[in-house]
């Protein structure tokens, strides 16, 4: 990588664009030292070891890696700097299921490569005075650029299957922000694992029903080929159709899944692969009954039957916009007064994306000034390493709810320990499921751009176990990387 630009608009502006480090997304290992440590700063031209020894009882499954140097994550994502980490050889993993073991395997890394017209990944706009993709905006160099929805780096893939054949596909949505609604013409998706962690039972979607693969999500899925023919694996338009946030069938209502205002969007539907079913029929079958539980995690019974040591609430919030009597945001505490334009790279206060501690009730602000927030919070939600949002006890089980007080989806990701998703929008899942990333549905009930205070926030609820072997500083953030880089962490 070239040297970093001399002038660094540090702080909460993207910075150190050519520095990097290594995050092993989904691995249950230490967040410190040479392991899954997102606080390392690897300068251009330098060499560093990353040494990760997996414990013997680590879950087998589909994990991945990508850079995680705060302030410089989005650009390498646009250029495709990531890959899969597949953990195998568990004696009682999915491979011990005969129908899975017999299936031919394909890996599909679904990227979203963004370039300028000449095919280069340009630097963000160093002279930006806004966070937008407009002329004066941070991402203006991408506004008229190109977007390639890739599958293993290519925009066109051909796969061959025989009628009746069962294949196992490992899908990764490696986009910097786009959620992908994936479906295969004429076929059902038979879901085995989310984020590398096995479902209690295989779940079969309706024929052509799309699966919502949030940014950062992985899906292990079985496909059984139908009759002779040609079928497209596609990504559908995420706007205006009813979306399920997970493999649960819970429908969080029609909403915007796409991130508003970010870059040009693709022409949907986008084809990820062409599947040609040809030659003689094969006799293969799909699994039935319970799947083996993933290693390295407490049992579902332990998770569900243990009284949580703490109950915590987190909020994705967008603080800013034009304030009126009706829609003064409850968030934003000190930003109006103490916003440091320099820290934000010279950009005036307009709209911040953040994660906030929802258990901080704050104090009413008696000031009637519309430019002031309704409530002053004691802690604020922008990423500051010196001010952790929570301190959890190693070895404890906690219950968290993450709310979305914005009008677009944000995928929640937490490092080090996976979590057991139990509710989406307050509705219990029929069978809880393990994840390390879940899309928190957008707020609904009023139209986008309306008063967020009148909307119903989207939410996810989960239980999580803090494995005492891997204590340390643990990051959580929105997996829309352009949000994370400016503070939604």
Closer residue to Cu ion (CB): 407 or 465: 407
Omega before 146 within 30 of 0, i.e. cis: no
Site for Cu ion in 283-342 (CB under 5 A): none
Question: Nearest approach, Cβ of 320 to Cu ion (angstroms)?
Answer: 14
Question: Nearest approach, Cβ of 362 to Cu ion (angstroms)?
Answer: 22
Closer residue to Cu ion (CB): 420 or 480: 480
Closer residue to Cu ion (CB): 272 or 314: 314
Question: Nearest approach, Cβ of 163 to Cu ion (angstroms)?
Answer: 42
Residue 479 interacting with Cu ion (CB under 5 A)? no
Residue 159 interacting with Cu ion (CB under 5 A)? no
Write out the DSSP string of 203-271.
EEPPTTPPEEE-TT-EEEEEEE--SSEEEEEEEE--BSS---SSTT-----S-B-SPTT-SPPP-SSEE
Question: Nearest approach, Cβ of 458 to Cu ion (angstroms)?
Answer: 12
Residue from 84, 270, 480, 486 binding Cu ion (CB under 5 A): 480
Report the b/e string of 95-109 with b at 16+ CB within 10 A.
Answer: bebebbeebeebebb
Both tokens of 91, joined, read: 């004696």
Closer residue to Cu ion (CB): 328 or 410: 410
CA distance linking residue 152 with residue 318, whole number of Å: 34
Residue 255 interacting with Cu ion (CB under 5 A)? no
Site for Cu ion in 381-420 (CB under 5 A): 410
CA distance linking residue 68 with residue 480, whole number of Å: 13
Question: Nearest approach, Cβ of 225 to Cu ion (angstroms)?
Answer: 37
CA distance linking residue 257 with residue 444, whole number of Å: 11
Cα 109 off chain centre by: 14
Residue 356 interacting with Cu ion (CB under 5 A)? no
Handedness of CA 20, 25, 29, 31 (dihedral sign): positive
Residues forming beta bridges with residue 107, ordered by sequence position: 170
Cα 411 off chain centre by: 4
Phi and psi, residue 172, nearest 5°: -130, 125
Residue 68 interacting with Cu ion (CB under 5 A)? no
Residue 442 interacting with Cu ion (CB under 5 A)? no
Residue whose CB is nearest to Cu ion in the complex, by number:
478
From 116-124, 247-255, 370-378, 479-487, give the range in contact with Cu ion by CB under 5 A.
479-487
Residue 478 interacting with Cu ion (CB under 5 A)? yes
Closer residue to Cu ion (CB): 191 or 488: 488
Residue 483 interacting with Cu ion (CB under 5 A)? yes
Residue 489 interacting with Cu ion (CB under 5 A)? no
Contact 154, 282 (CB under 8 A): no
Size of the site for Cu ion (CB under 5 A): 4
3-state secondary structure of 318: strand
Closer residue to Cu ion (CB): 170 or 483: 483
Given the rule CB under 5 A, which residues bind Cu ion?
410, 478, 480, 483
């Amino acid at each position: 990588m070239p040297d970093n630009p001399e002038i660094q608009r540090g702080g909460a502006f993207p910075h150190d664009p050519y520095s990097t480090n290594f995050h092993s997304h989904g691995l249950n290992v230490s967040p410190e030292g040479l392991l899954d440590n997102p606080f390392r700063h690897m300068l251009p031209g330098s060499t560093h070891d990353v040494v990760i020894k997996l414990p013997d009882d680590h879950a087998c499954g589909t994990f991945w890696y990508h850079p995680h140097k705060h302030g410089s994550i989005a650009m390498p994502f646009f250029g495709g700097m990531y890959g899969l980490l597949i953990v195998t050889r568990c004696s009682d993993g999915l491979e011990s299921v005969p129908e899975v073991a017999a299936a031919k395997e394909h890996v599909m890394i679904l990227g979203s490569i963004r370039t300028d017209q000449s095919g280069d990944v340009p630097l963000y706009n160093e002279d930006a005075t806004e966070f937008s993709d407009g002329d004066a905006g941070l991402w203006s160099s991408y506004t008229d650029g190109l977007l390639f929805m890739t599958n293993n780096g290519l925009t066109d893939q051909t796969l061959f299957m025989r009628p009746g054949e069962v294949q196992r596909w490992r899908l990764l949505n490696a986009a910097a922000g786009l959620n992908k609604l994936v479906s295969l013409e004429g076929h059902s998706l038979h879901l085995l694992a989310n984020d590398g962690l096995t479902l209690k039972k295989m779940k079969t979607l309706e024929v052509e029903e799309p699966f919502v693969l949030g940014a950062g999500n992985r899906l292990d899925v079985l496909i059984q080929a139908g009759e002779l023919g040609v079928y497209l694996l596609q990504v559908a338009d995420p706007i205006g159709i009813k979306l399920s946030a997970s493999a649960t069938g819970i429908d969080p209502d029609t909403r915007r899944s796409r991130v508003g205002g970010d870059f040009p969007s693709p022409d949907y539907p986008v084809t990820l692969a062409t599947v040609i079913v040809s030659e003689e029929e094969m006799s293969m079958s799909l699994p039935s009954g319970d799947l083996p539980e993933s290693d390295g995690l407490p049992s579902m019974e332990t998770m569900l039957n243990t009284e949580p040591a703490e109950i915590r609430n987190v909020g994705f919030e967008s603080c800013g916009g034009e304030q009126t009597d009706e829609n003064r945001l409850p968030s934003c505490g000190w930003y109006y007064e103490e916003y440091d334009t320099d820290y934000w790279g010279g950009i005036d206060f307009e709209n911040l994306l953040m994660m906030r501690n929802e258990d901080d009730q704050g104090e009413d602000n008696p000031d009637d000034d519309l430019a002031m927030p309704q409530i002053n919070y004691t802690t604020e939600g922008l990423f500051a390493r010196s001010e952790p949002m929570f301190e959890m006890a190693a070895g404890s089980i906690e219950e968290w709810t993450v709310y979305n007080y914005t009008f677009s989806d944000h995928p929640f990701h937490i490092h080090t320990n996976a979590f057991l998703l139990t509710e989406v929008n307050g509705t219990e899942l029929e069978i809880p499921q393990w994840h390390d990333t879940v899309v928190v549905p957008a707020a609904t009930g009023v139209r986008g751009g309306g008063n967020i205070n009148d909307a119903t926030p989207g939410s996810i609820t989960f239980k999580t176990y803090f494995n005492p072997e891997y204590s340390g500083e643990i990051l959580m953030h929105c997996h829309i990387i352009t949000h994370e880089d400016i503070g939604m962490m």
